[in-house]
Amino acid sequence: MPVGVRTVRFQVLKKRSLLYSGFVLSSVLLACIVVSSCGQEFYVDGRNLPPSGVLNRVLIAQQTPDALPFVDAYYDIRHAYSASSGSFSISGYSGKGPLTIENIPEQQMGAVYGEDDGSLALIGYAGEKLSTNITIPGGLSSSVEGSPYNGVMVTQDLNYVYAANPINHVVSVVDRTTGISETLDLPNAYGISVNPGGTVALIFVNNATQAPGYAVRAENPASFAVYSFVKLTSSEQAAAVNNPNWNGAQDCEPQKLPTWCIFPVSTGASASFDHPIKAVFSADGTTAYVLNCGPECGGTTASVTTIPITAASLNPGGYGAGGLALVAQNNIAIPGGATDAIFSGNTLYIAGQQFQASRGLLAGNLTVVNTPADTVAGTYSISDGTHNKMVFADDNTLWIGSASCDQGARYQQAQTGAQVEYGCLTMFNTSTNTATVGSYLGDATGIAAVTGLHKIYTSEGGQIYIFSTKDMSELNNSNVTVTGTAMDVAYMDATSNADNTDY
């Protein structure tokens, strides 16, 4: 071949090589800007890349031994992808009997409640280590109606912690902005629900009912089923000095100059409470929907009670919970029972159980409510048991977890030879309104939606399982099993605080 031809070909190849090198360099620089900002690494919503380098982490509340391991939910392994062994764990955690994880990924935090020592630990997701332990002055207790425990809640801004202890008959508030904590008297208080904005914190009394037209009486405080925390303004503090029942409050503390009170929630002429168990809040923040457990909890009628949240019903202080004059207005009968619920736009999905007289057992149901019209759009059969976890996931699916599902109507049917699943986990397709019940693996105590990857992680019967959101098929969990007892799971890198945590 002539020399000139070789020279031309070499020059062409050299030019192509330079163009390719330029493309690679540009790509690297772009990645530097998008991913690491040339020195500071980010991976989603401006969050810092964690020490593990894992971008899809699922945190596990593990008992015996007590620890908070986490796994890589992209590869479904407990160790780094580049390694063949090892494990990840939150450093510095010392709580006993970790039971629940309140997932707050938008703030890169999680609140872990330990049932054995009543501890509450804030976990920093960015550093993958303990941030702080929070002392609850009135203590915590898990010996309550419903499972898992919903007696403590941290506001999403991390400024306040509200808790209930039915054993000590008190409720507590921790104001992390001032460092001041208070304990207030309220017999049999056991459940706490807080709206995402932190302006309403409701307290539920165990095994309580409240008739219509039951209003606050300033001269003689009486027993109510639902109460609310209120942080007083300076003028209200002055008016409430040495008067623990100021303006109809159940209690105000400290009495010399009250900072916090708990006020009863009144019922209007068309509203009542029947074993209220928790509340969920509309997306626009204008309404609280209280779940009345009814027959499933020893009451008469399952329903949802609406409480309008207006400027007139809130304390004008603008900080902390302020449900000063909340009045329930309306009841929506829920034929399928009500122990947990979750919103999708204006549609409210409610899980519960209905008594089957022919069998003498409870059967699980999902009730779909159109909230603008306050009407029931449909009821569907789901897993039996006490429903306590509801999470939306990929592929238009809603996942529902329950405890003691082997004590319901489905289990009885299976024992008589019927081809029916009686597991504690249900996948409900919200586009087709069809429910799929999984096989029995034990109580479903935790669900985490690994959004974007078409999978969920669950803790069932004390072990970790993975399911596809496309068809509920079980994925390989051999590399994420734990040596202890897994009680809850949380997707640390979720984009929404609603992933894993019911508010």
Shared-domain flag, residues 212 and 182: yes
The helix (H) or strand (E) run that includes residue 486 is: strand 485-491
Shared-domain flag, residues 423 and 283: yes
Assess if residue 476 is contained within a domain: yes
Shared-domain flag, residues 314 and 193: yes
Greater model confidence, 257 or 150: 257
What is the predicted pLDDT for the residue at 490? 97
What is the predicted pLDDT for the residue at 19? 38
Q: What is the DSSP string of 65-95?
A: TTB-EEEETTTTBSS-TT-SS--EE-BT---
- As a whole number, the mean pLDDT across the chain is 89
Task: Give residue-wise pLDDT tens across range 339-353.
Answer: 999 999 999 999 999
Task: Give residue-wise pLDDT tens across range 302-337.
Answer: 999 999 999 999 998 878 999 999 999 999 999 999
Assess if residue 444 is contained within a domain: yes
Contact 191, 151 (CB under 8 A): yes
CA dihedral 122, 124, 129, 134 (to 10 degrees): -20
Shared-domain flag, residues 70 and 36: no
Greater model confidence, 140 or 165: 165
| C-alpha to C-alpha distance for 222 and 187, rounded to whole angstroms | 12
Q: What is the DSSP string of 168-235?
A: TTEEEEEETTTTEEEEEE-TTEEEEEE-TTSS-EEEEETT-EE-TT----TTS----SEEEEEEPPHH
Shared-domain flag, residues 412 and 323: yes
| C-alpha to C-alpha distance for 97 and 201, rounded to whole angstroms | 26
Assess if residue 499 is contained within a domain: no
| C-alpha to C-alpha distance for 359 and 485, rounded to whole angstroms | 33
Task: Give residue-wise pLDDT tens across range 370-391.
Answer: 999 999 999 999 999 999 999 9
- In degrees, rounded to 5, the angle at the alpha carbon of residue 476 between the alpha carbons of residues 470 and 480 is 115
Interstrand relation of 88-89 and 69-72 (parallel, antiparallel or unpaired): antiparallel
Instruction: Provide the domain limits for residue 85.
Output: 41-491
Assess if residue 128 is contained within a domain: yes
What is the predicted pLDDT for the residue at 8? 36
Count of structural domains within the chain: 2
Is 1 a residue whose pLDDT tops 90?
no
Shared-domain flag, residues 16 and 125: no
Contact 497, 106 (CB under 8 A): yes
Q: Which two tokens stand for residue 51?
A: 């020490």
For the chain, helix, strand, coil in percent to 5 are 15, 40, 45
Coil, helix or strand at residue 407: helix
CA dihedral 234, 240, 242, 247 (to 10 degrees): -160
Shared-domain flag, residues 441 and 339: yes
**CATH classification of the domain holding 425:** 2.130.10.10
What is the predicted pLDDT for the residue at 175? 97
Is 498 a residue whose pLDDT tops 80?
yes
| C-alpha to C-alpha distance for 319 and 447, rounded to whole angstroms | 32
Shared-domain flag, residues 232 and 165: yes
Q: What are phi and psi of 417, to 5 degrees?
A: 105, 0
Assess if residue 498 is contained within a domain: no
